[in-house]
Amino acid sequence: MAPKDTEACGRCSMTSVVDAANEGDGGDRDLFGDARIEIPEDEMRRVAKPQILLGRAKRTIDEVATRLTYGR
């Protein structure tokens, strides 16, 4: 078997499953081709902002509730 480049997008486990399934039929199908799943960093940051804000709000609420509960 020829060595393969690992994928940078996190599809490695899926590729392993597909490779194992293709071994029975000669392995001539390439379900992924050359396409890569990549998201620009600025888009990722924009999409993640609500999660970051919700995480900060949750932390603040937890801290207030802890102070109220334990008087610290």
Q: Give the range of the structural domain holding residue 63, as residue numbers without chain letter.
A: 39-72
The domain tally of the chain equals 2
Q: How far apart are CA 66 and CA 58, in angstroms?
A: 12
Quick one: 43 and 72 in the same domain?
yes
Could you give the residue ranges of the DSSP H alpha helices within the chain?
Answer: 12-22, 41-70
Give the residue with greater pLDDT, 30 vs 55.
55
Most confident of 14-18, 22-26, 42-46, 63-67: 63-67
Is the confidence at residue 62, as pLDDT, over 80? yes
Quick one: 69 and 44 in the same domain?
yes
- pTM of the predicted model, to two decimals? 0.43
Is the confidence at residue 8, as pLDDT, over 60? no
Quick one: 26 and 46 in the same domain?
no
- Would you state the structure tokens that stand for residue 70, as one six-digit string? 């334990």
Quick one: 46 and 71 in the same domain?
yes
Mean pLDDT to the nearest integer, 55-72 = 93
Confirm whether 44 is domain-assigned.
Answer: yes
Is the confidence at residue 2, as pLDDT, over 90? no
